[in-house]
């Protein structure tokens, strides 16, 4: 049976002879279907967020595994967590078939090696506190299936993100997320709608988990690492907004708190010395709301 992601889209059969404006209009119309497809899966996404966050509170990791576009999206999401949420690099990990070289060049045969998927998971010492998210547009990628099989054997939570249903991936995992975006504008080119849907789902998973872990205060990115000029300015704005003070006050407050955004907010809102603010944050598991008693 032909997978949904491989089927021909009847609306774009003549895309190669269309005027350019009509071509991009068709692409835009197809892209508009993605958010609706993801919306159907919100309950499963929420279940995954809660389950992953529970394990991460106990020291577990979030590990993405995929091939091709799917693998690159997982690595991208993992790589953006440290600067956004101040996570250790080893807390959110992205594995891609073919290794790091596959990020910049196609290594298509690597996706067929289920044994390598198992070895890559084993090499990271996956255990029962970890959560492994397999990403495969078709839901059939051997490398991903091998990795998920190994993750299950080791007792990890398993989540699947695919754009086909049913699929081998959905049958293997504890939680299956399957936004069905339909045939691609270019048949089989899953970097298009399927890739967009996967990116949206991964955005929700990692962001939702980090919110649950207290990495934000309201919708403010309070765990941002101010490692460059742009991020230092953002930290000042975040402190100013959270504390409802001027930017100049926020800058002085950050300096007094060694550049630690959360510490600065808790110190100001709780009228605390920075050392006491840090202690309260530690006891509150990093949650600003809990540290200032505003849960």
Same-domain status, 108 and 63: yes
What integer pLDDT is reported at residue 107 of this predicted model?
80
CATH code at 261? 1.10.8.1080
Averaged pLDDT, 110-128: 94
Whether residue 221 lies inside any domain: the answer is: no
- Residue ranges making up the domain that contains 243: 229-291
Task: Kindly report, residue by residue over 157-188, the tens digit of the pLDDT.
Answer: 999 999 999 999 999 999 999 999 999 999 99
Same-domain status, 249 and 123: no
Q: Which domain-ending residue is among 169, 186, 212?
A: 212
- Mean pLDDT score across all residues of the chain: 94
Name the band, by pLDDT with cuts 50, 70 and 90, for residue 227: confident
Whether residue 224 lies inside any domain: the answer is: no
Same-domain status, 49 and 138: yes
Give the pairing of strands 62-66 and 92-96.
Answer: parallel
CATH code at 117? 3.40.50.10490
Same-domain status, 179 and 38: yes
Please tell me the total count of domains within the chain: 2
Same-domain status, 179 and 52: yes
φ, ψ of residue 271 in degrees (nearest 5): 50, 55
Q: Which domain-ending residue is among 186, 212, 238?
A: 212
Flag whether pLDDT at 50 surpasses 60.
yes
Whether residue 222 lies inside any domain: the answer is: no
Same-domain status, 73 and 109: yes
The percentage of the chain sitting over the pLDDT mark of 90, rounded to a whole number, equals 86
Task: Kindly report, residue by residue over 71-116, the tens digit of the pLDDT.
Answer: 999 999 999 999 889 899 999 999 999 999 999 888 878 888 899 9
Same-domain status, 243 and 165: no
Whether residue 253 lies inside any domain: the answer is: yes
Same-domain status, 176 and 279: no
Flag whether pLDDT at 264 surpasses 70.
yes
- Whether the predicted model's global pTM rises above the 0.75 cut: yes
Averaged pLDDT, 117-127: 96
Whether residue 200 lies inside any domain: the answer is: yes
Flag whether pLDDT at 294 surpasses 70.
no
Name the band, by pLDDT with cuts 50, 70 and 90, for residue 199: very high
Active-site hit among 30, 41, 111, 184:
111
Long-range CB pairs of 182-186 (<8 Å, 24+ gap) are 182/4, 182/7, 182/9, 182/30, 182/33, 182/37, 183/4, 183/5, 183/6, 183/7, 183/8, 183/9, 184/5, 184/9, 184/30, 185/9, 185/12, 185/15, 185/26, 185/27, 185/30, 186/12, 186/15
What integer pLDDT is reported at residue 1 of this predicted model?
54
- Can 80 be counted among the known catalytic residues? yes
Averaged pLDDT, 116-124: 96
What integer pLDDT is reported at residue 2 of this predicted model?
64
Whether residue 219 lies inside any domain: the answer is: no
Same-domain status, 186 and 58: yes
Same-domain status, 280 and 200: no
What integer pLDDT is reported at residue 287 of this predicted model?
93
Same-domain status, 266 and 161: no
Same-domain status, 193 and 245: no
Whether residue 240 lies inside any domain: the answer is: yes
- Can 111 be counted among the known catalytic residues? yes
Q: Which domain-ending residue is among 154, 183, 212?
A: 212
What is the rounded distance in angstroms from the CA atom of residue 160 to the CA atom of residue 175? 6
The percentage of the chain sitting over the pLDDT mark of 70, rounded to a whole number, equals 99
Whether residue 220 lies inside any domain: the answer is: no
Active-site hit among 6, 80, 129, 276:
80
What is the rounded distance in angstroms from the CA atom of residue 135 to the CA atom of residue 195? 10
Name the band, by pLDDT with cuts 50, 70 and 90, for residue 226: confident
More confident call, 86 vs 276: 276
């Amino acid at each position: 049976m032909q997978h949904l992601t491989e089927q021909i889209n009847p609306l774009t059969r003549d895309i190669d002879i269309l005027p350019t404006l009509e071509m991009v209009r068709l692409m835009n119309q197809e892209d508009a279907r993605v958010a609706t497809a993801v919306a159907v899966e919100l309950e499963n996404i929420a279940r995954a967020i809660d389950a992953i966050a529970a394990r991460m509170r106990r020291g577990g990791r979030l590990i993405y595994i995929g091939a091709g576009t799917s693998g690159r999206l997982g690595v991208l999401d993992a790589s953006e967590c440290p600067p956004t949420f101040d996570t250790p690099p080893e807390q959110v990990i992205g594995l891609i078939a073919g290794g790091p070289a596959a990020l910049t060049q196609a290594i298509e045969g690597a996706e067929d090696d289920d044994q390598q998927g198992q070895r890559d998971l084993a090499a990271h010492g996956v255990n029962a506190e970890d959560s492994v998210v397999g990403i495969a547009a078709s839901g059939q990628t051997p490398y991903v299936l091998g990795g998920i099989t190994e993750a299950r054997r080791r007792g990890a939570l398993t989540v699947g993100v695919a754009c086909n249903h049913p699929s081998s991936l959905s049958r293997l995992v504890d939680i299956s997320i399957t936004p069905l975006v339909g045939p691609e504008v270019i048949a089989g080119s899953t970097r298009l709608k399927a890739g967009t849907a996967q990116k949206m789902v991964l955005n929700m998973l990692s962001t939702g988990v980090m919110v649950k872990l207290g990495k934000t205060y309201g919708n403010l990115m309070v765990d941002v690492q101010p490692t460059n000029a742009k991020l230092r300015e953002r930290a000042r704005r975040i402190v100013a907004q959270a504390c409802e003070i001027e930017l100049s006050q926020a800058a002085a407050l950050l300096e007094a708190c060694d550049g630690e955004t959360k510490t600065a907010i808790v110190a100001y809102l709780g009228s605390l010395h920075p050392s006491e603010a840090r202690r309260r944050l530690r006891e509150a598991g990093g949650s600003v709301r809990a540290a200032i008693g505003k849960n």
